[in-house]
């Protein structure tokens, strides 16, 4: 890969990109790639169902639990979700209930080896998630959730059978397939609740761009990357291709044609990044064995085959080995 360091000062990338974004693209202090397609998991909710029942989107996990109890009492499933088509997607639940309950500072410390994954904050998050699963707040009961597909749960959300959907910003590319002109329901979006009530956005990346070290035209590579990663071009690409922008501070005005609801989320996400109010997704910051362990074994906790403490102990042992091996991806400093 081509060393991209010379272009940082030349094009002012250290001012344009969020600091964590350049850190993620570095190896041993040298920039080799520019992370693209910043994704995060959010709370999608059926706006019509909420308005009909006088509900507001929760900001804290306590408010979330109280709202789920109200929904259950009203005969509405709190969340649409699945594990029947994508076992790997179980990581979404681990991500949100560790970052949002224990807090991103603890997740960061665990990723760099300062604290173990057996920390009580992580156990509290996994225990809360397990209780919600056991109470049938995803798809009505755990057995149904474990067998449900994407289309089934997204349809349940769009029709109002389920009131909420914990999914990534990528759902924007499919939302019109479910909230059609014939559907009387409408959708809205908010940060997924946290224990403190802070709006925390977990960083996920969909791709990255690099240059070939053997190129005879390194300056052209730099010129192209600078053009491609400009806020204006990133906003235009998102508007025309639904390809999420990089962390380059794209504003809502630069996303002309994009639904203002998702544009606002991306704008707020960039602001949160600058303020340090961000968490970490598994698919971007976890080493491979630990990543596989997370999604392959979480269902065992939900069905009470193992406890949250035992699950986290297993993760901690595998992660410790990969940390020593140097398999953990670059973790941007907080």
Tell me the CATH number at 63: 3.40.190.10
Higher-pLDDT residue of 101, 256: 101
Helix ranges, the chain (H): 5-11, 13-16, 19-24, 47-53, 61-73, 90-99, 104-111, 120-134, 142-147, 150-159, 175-178, 218-228, 231-241, 260-275, 282-285, 288-302, 308-325
Within this chain, do residues 164 and 222 fall inside the same structural domain, yes or no? no
Kindly report, residue by residue over 41-94, the tens digit of the pLDDT.
999 999 999 999 999 999 999 999 999 999 999 999 999 999 999 999 999 999
Within this chain, do residues 29 and 48 fall inside the same structural domain, yes or no? no
Contact 193, 64 (CB under 8 A): yes
DSSP 181: T
Of the candidate ranges 207-211, 247-251, 279-283, the one whose mean pLDDT is the lowest: 247-251
Higher-pLDDT residue of 209, 19: 209
Within this chain, do residues 179 and 60 fall inside the same structural domain, yes or no? yes
pLDDT for 253: 84
Provide the pLDDT confidence category of residue 267 given band limits of 50, 70 and 90.
confident
- Distance, in Å, from the CA atom of 150 to the CA atom of 182, rounded to the nearest integer, reads 20
Within this chain, do residues 266 and 168 fall inside the same structural domain, yes or no? no
Burial string for 195-214 (b: 16+ CB within 10 Å, else e) reads beebbbbbbbbbeebebeee
Whether residue 216 is contained in a domain is answered as yes
The residue-averaged pLDDT of 127-134 equals: 98
The residue-averaged pLDDT of 166-192 equals: 95
Whether residue 253 is contained in a domain is answered as yes
pLDDT for 192: 97
Predicted model pTM: 0.92
Q: Where a domain ends, among 139, 163, 190?
A: 190
Kindly report, residue by residue over 229-260, the tens digit of the pLDDT.
999 999 999 988 888 899 998 888 888 888 99
Q: What is the DSSP string of 104-138?
A: HHHHHHHHTTSS-TT-HHHHHHHHHHHHHHHTTTB
pLDDT-above-70 percentage for the chain: 100
Provide the pLDDT confidence category of residue 107 given band limits of 50, 70 and 90.
very high
**Residue 277 reports pLDDT greater than 90:** no
pLDDT for 241: 87
Q: What is the DSSP string of 232-282?
A: HHHHHHHHHH-----SS---GGGSTTS-HHHHHHHHHHHHHHHHT-EEE-H
Sheet of strand 162-168, all strands in order from the earlier edge strand to the far edge: 77-80, 162-168, 41-46, 187-190
- Distance, in Å, from the CA atom of 72 to the CA atom of 52, rounded to the nearest integer, reads 15
Terminal Cα distance for the chain, rounded = 27
Contact 250, 279 (CB under 8 A): no
Q: Where a domain ends, among 151, 169, 190?
A: 190
pLDDT for 333: 80
pLDDT for 334: 83
Contact 164, 170 (CB under 8 A): no
Whether residue 319 is contained in a domain is answered as no
Closest CA to 154 of 183, 191, 192, 128: 183
Burial string for 302-326 (b: 16+ CB within 10 Å, else e) reads beeebebeebbebbbebbeebbeee
Within this chain, do residues 219 and 145 fall inside the same structural domain, yes or no? no
Contact 196, 215 (CB under 8 A): no
Contact 40, 244 (CB under 8 A): no
Count of the separate structural domains present in the chain: 2
Q: What is the mean pLDDT of the chain?
A: 95
Residue located via tokens 């060393």: 3
- Distance, in Å, from the CA atom of 221 to the CA atom of 92, rounded to the nearest integer, reads 35
Distances (CA, A) of 300 to 82, 96, 102, 314: 15, 18, 21, 12
Within this chain, do residues 186 and 45 fall inside the same structural domain, yes or no? yes
3-state secondary structure of 101: coil
Kindly report, residue by residue over 9-23, the tens digit of the pLDDT.
999 999 999 888 899
Q: List the domain range (segments joined by +) for residue 270.
A: 5-39+202-280
Within this chain, do residues 231 and 257 fall inside the same structural domain, yes or no? yes
**Residue 274 reports pLDDT greater than 80:** no
Within this chain, do residues 51 and 160 fall inside the same structural domain, yes or no? yes
pLDDT-above-90 percentage for the chain: 87
The residue-averaged pLDDT of 190-196 equals: 97
Within this chain, do residues 35 and 49 fall inside the same structural domain, yes or no? no
């Amino acid at each position: 890969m081509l060393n991209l360091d010379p272009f940082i000062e030349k094009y002012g990338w250290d001012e344009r990109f969020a600091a964590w974004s350049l850190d993620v693209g570095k190896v041993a202090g040298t920039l080799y790639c520019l992370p693209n397609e910043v994704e995060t998991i959010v709370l999608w909710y059926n706006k019509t169902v909420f308005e009909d029942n006088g509900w507001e989107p929760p900001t804290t996990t306590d408010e979330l639990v109280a709202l789920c109890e109200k929904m259950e009492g009203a005969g509405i499933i709190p969340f649409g979700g699945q594990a029947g088509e994508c076992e790997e997607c179980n990581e979404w639940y681990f991500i949100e209930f560790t970052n949002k309950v224990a807090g991103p500072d603890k997740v960061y410390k665990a990723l760099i080896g300062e604290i173990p994954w057996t920390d009580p904050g992580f156990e509290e998050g996994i225990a809360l998630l397990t209780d919600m699963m056991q109470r049938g707040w995803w798809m009505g009961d755990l057995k149904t959730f474990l067998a449900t597909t994407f289309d089934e749960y997204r349809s349940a959300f769009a029709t109002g059978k389920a009131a909420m959907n914990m999914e990534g910003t990528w759902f924007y590319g499919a939302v019109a397939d479910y909230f059609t002109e014939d559907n009387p329901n409408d959708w809205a979006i908010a940060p997924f609740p946290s224990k403190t009530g802070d709006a925390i956005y977990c960083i996920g990346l969909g791709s990255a761009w690099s240059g070939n070290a053997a190129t005879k035209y390194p300056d052209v590579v730099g010129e192209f990357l600078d053009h491609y990663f400009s806020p204006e071009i990133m906003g235009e690409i998102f508007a025309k291709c639904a390809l999420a922008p990089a962390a380059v501070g794209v504003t809502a005005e630069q996303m002309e044609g994009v639904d203002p609801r998702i544009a606002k989320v991306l704008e707020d996400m960039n602001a949160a990044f600058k303020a340090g109010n961000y968490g970490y997704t598994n698919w971007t910051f976890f080493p491979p064995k630990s990543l596989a362990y997370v999604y392959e074994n979480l269902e065992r906790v939900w069905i009470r085959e193992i406890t949250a403490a035992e699950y986290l102990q297993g993760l901690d042992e595998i992660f410790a080995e990969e940390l020593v091996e140097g398999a953990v991806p670059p973790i941007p400093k907080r």
